[in-house]
Amino acid sequence: MTVDLLIRDARYVVMTDDDTGMLENASVAIDGGCIVAVGPGLDTDARDVIDGRDALVMPGLVNLHTPLPMALLRGVAEDVDLQGFLERVWAEEARLMDPRGVYVGARLGALEAVMSGTTTALDMYFPPADAHRAAVEVGLRHVTGPVFFSFPGPDGLAWEERMALAREWPATLAAIGGPAVPPALMPHAAFTVGIEHLREIADLARAQSALVHTHASENDRENADTVASTGLRPVGALDSAGLLGLGPVLGHGVRLDDGERRLLAATGTSVAHCPGSNLKLASGAADFVGYRDDGIRVGLGTDGCSSSNDLDMFAVMRLAANLSRLVRDDPASVESREVLAAATLDGARALGLGDRIGTIEPGKEADLVVLDLRAPHLVPIRDPYTAIVYAAGRSDVRDVVVAGEVVVRGRRPTRVDANAVMDEADQLVASA
């Protein structure tokens, strides 16, 4: 049998629930976009081969909260709190973020993401079709959908126009193509979308089997603003609208009280923990380990380049690990493998993609990352998870495969010209 792609003679962390640690001198055979075999002594003909000697292969990273087009807003609002940040960002958005700006920004963000080992991203920005087209062109598995505000919002759409866009969204996704993703509906937050409108979104999400993604409890001020407008904190507002039972993904979830934590665990709600953004905006320290102990699924996200400046999930893994040790005052509170699981399989499960991606095993789609181990900071490898979380960085990402396609090879993107993407972004910011 001849397969499409063989990654041969590498070390692997496969991240299945029952794996027994690192595989050595093993190969992965990929055909028709899927993993067909994993293991040592695998010798099959392949149309394409990646030599894995001196390499460690891991599942692709899942960035669970990242407005990709905001790559264009990198550095726009520094040294301010969340509310000061929003004022500056909104002004620059008005200047740059027409559909063309969103497309150019999403290409830049998607390129940064895949070159950094991210294979899947959950992106809340608008208009979603322009961002999706850009990200799919670069080769990213890109989950997005219409964003909702109860007022006209930065994009100036009336409520009915948003709902119309949302009803069309599964067809729009199908027309654009790209790696398989669920449709998503994205109410911005419980303080910007009224409860009646949240209920409409819940109904549509049920009808479409859509993923719901929203911001919740990013800082104390957001909680206070939500109480002022709805009488409830964000989690309570989402619950009263019937959204929590749909297993949504909550961006940030920094300031959650005990009752809210129990509710999120009981409803299968996921939290996208974004320690880089939360630290930089001094929003607070989400209790990653406490959430885990409460039974909440936690994935990791970078948030946007406007707040955390880059899309580096290796940096986020290290921050998440060290921050939770500090929060818990306990160096044994979290293990590296759990942090890598949050950035891979748990993120995939949060998106409803846990049976398609997130691990390296036969039957799954091939989303994986090849790290170059010939670097002084990665010698010796005693424990691969610790090496990935505490020593590796995105510059070690050599090859990236999404849905069986090599989208980065030898640190270069295969589907787009990196210089053209960067030039386009620079020119747009300078000329708009």
Interface with Zn ion by CB under 5 A: which residues? 251, 303
Question: Smallest distance, Å, CB 276 to Zn ion?
Answer: 11
Strand 412-413 and strand 211-216: the pairing is unpaired
Take residue 349 and report the two structure tokens written for it: 């499960």
Question: Smallest distance, Å, CB 260 to Zn ion?
Answer: 18
The beta-strand segments (E) located in 124-277 are 141-143, 147-148, 184-187, 211-216, 249-252, 270-273
Question: Smallest distance, Å, CB 266 to Zn ion?
Answer: 24
Question: Smallest distance, Å, CB 89 to Zn ion?
Answer: 11
Q: Which helix (H) or strand (E) holds 29?
A: strand 23-31
CB 414 within 8 A of CB 408: yes
Nearest 10 degrees: CA dihedral of 300, 249, 325, 327?
A: 140
How many residues are recorded in the chain?
A: 432
Tell me the C-alpha distance between 324 and 276, whole Å.
Answer: 13
Smaller CB separation from Zn ion, 179 or 251? 251
Smaller CB separation from Zn ion, 247 or 251? 251
Smaller CB separation from Zn ion, 105 or 251? 251
Question: Smallest distance, Å, CB 48 to Zn ion?
Answer: 38
- In the chain, what is the straight-line distance between the N-terminal and C-terminal CA atoms, in Å? 54
Q: Which helix (H) or strand (E) holds 23?
A: strand 23-31
Smaller CB separation from Zn ion, 117 or 276? 276
Smaller CB separation from Zn ion, 15 or 319? 319
Number of other CB atoms surrounding residue 423 within 10 Å: 11
Question: Smallest distance, Å, CB 355 to Zn ion?
Answer: 27
Smaller CB separation from Zn ion, 75 or 331? 75
